[in-house]
Amino acid sequence: MSEQPARICILGGGFGGLYTALRLSQLPWEPSQKPEMVLVDQSDRFLFSPFLYELLTGELQTWEIAPPYEELLQNTGVRFCQGAVSGIDIDQQRVHLHDGPEISYDRLVLALGGETPLDIVPGATSYAYPFRAIADAYRLEERLRILEESDADKIRIAIVGAGYSGVELACKLADRLGERGRFRLIEVSDQILRTSPEFNREAATKALEARGVFIDLETKVESIAQDSISLEYKNQVDTIPVDLVIWTVGTRVSPVVRNLSVKQNQRGQISTTSTLQVHDHPEIFALGDLADCLDAEGKQVPATAQAAFQQADYAAWNIWASLTNRPLLAFRYQFLGEMMALGIDSATLTGLGLKLEGPLAYVARRLAYLYRLPTLDHKLKVGFNWLARPIIQALSQ
């Protein structure tokens, strides 16, 4: 009787999960060793999140930044299962899905990403708009459309958080709304883009000032109502009328991950070894937002898309190595720089000895992200569309 092939179950189809699955499908498995591979995600589409802002300005279309998993996994041998994870039994090595089948596993990849915590400020859950998923972008688009069609003279928008998301959103939306937009960027610390290289911070400050975005530093959100936001600055609370509040602050590990009886840090992230394996559970690999990982040199790995993208390669290799009796590799994180869109046709870029801002940085950012899109087929489709679109637009004028 032949032995059952091993089953690899990958939970979460973001940069960590999808790219691990794609890499696993390319590794040199012996025909007798080829495992069964299952990717689970509650959405039917992958989201290339750095491009989510471009949906709101019409620079990109949904199919370019959010291709269906079925399309991406065609001919890879990876099976896609759409469903939400309700629990993981690490003793029995089983994954439970809401209204779905149970999936047993020999190797498990935890790449479920994080959630935006809205319940930390009164009114945020009801009235603030998060910006993390494709559904968030659609919901925000609908609200913007209603505001644009109204006869209001000004559209007043408050964006909570002056990190990458907040700054990119403020610039993109300011370009979209033009003279009608009135923007406040609210930040609890004493500067925008606290963890950014100085060059990028200065370029972003310039871009925000040019667009008339008002920046509230050292300001805390007290509460949010249907048409107002209350802000605390130096122990004084002001209530300001707004038409829209966008929330970009914080990441929280999902309850499914928090409930696992494995070693976690104070934020609920799972502690891993440098080979991305969960302590005391070498059959489980954790990466991306939910992992607390020190790399081969003992450096803390940031919870960024760039890190998850790199971890996927190592996770795939180490799973393959663990199933084929080869040595595992310790993860080595490489900071490849930082890119940010600063409105339509402008960006800033720092890294690998380069410092760029303006239209040239915008093109470089586009090309760098085109290279990181999943599958050669999708890259070619998107790249061809980018080349053809200006020509088609020129001919149709």
DSSP structure string for 128-143: EEE-SSHHHHHHHHHH
Question: Same domain for 23 and 99?
Answer: yes
> What is the CATH number for 187?
3.50.50.60
- Do 376 and 280 lie in one domain? The reply is no
Q: Give the total number of structural domains in the chain.
A: 3
Q: By C-alpha distance, which of 106, 111, 113, 112 is closest to 320?
A: 106
H-run or E-run covering 348: strand 347-351
Continuous segment of H or E residues that includes residue 53: helix 52-56
Question: Are residues 177 and 150 in contact, defined by beta-carbon separation less than 8 angstroms?
Answer: no
Question: Are residues 140 and 242 both part of a single domain?
Answer: yes
357 and 242 in one domain? no
CA distance 203 to 344: 14
Question: CB 226: neighbour CB atoms within 10 A?
Answer: 9
Q: Among 202, 222, 247, identify where a domain stops.
A: 247
The boundaries of the domain holding residue 389 are 338-396
296 and 390 co-located in one domain: no
For the stretch 156-185, pLDDT in tens is: 999 999 999 999 999 999 999 999 999 999
Same domain, residue pair 239 and 259 = no
CB 267 within 8 Å of CB 257: no
**Same domain assignment for residues 144 and 92:** no
Cα torsion 306, 12, 117, 333 to 10°: value is: -20
Residue-wise pLDDT for 216-274, tens only, equals 999 999 999 999 999 999 999 999 999 999 999 988 888 899 999 999 998 889 999 99
- pLDDT tens sequence across 334-357: 988 899 999 998 999 998 788 999
Cα gap 245→223, rounded to integer Å: 11
Q: CA-CA distance, 51 to 293, in Å (whole number)?
A: 26
Whether residues 279 and 344 share a domain: the answer is no
Has residue 136 been placed in a domain? Answer: yes
Average pLDDT on 19-23 reads: 97
Q: What is the pLDDT of residue 397?
A: 66
pLDDT at 1: 36
Same domain flag for 101 and 15 = yes
**pLDDT digits over 109-146, tens only?**
999 988 888 888 999 999 999 999 999 999 999 999 99
Helix segments in 275-375, DSSP class H:
305-323, 359-372
Burial class of 2 by CB neighbour count within 10 A (0 to 12, 13 to 18, 19+): exposed
Cα–Cα distance, 149 to 329 (Å, whole number)? 56
The amino acid occupying position 184 is R
What's the token pair of residue 248?
């970009």
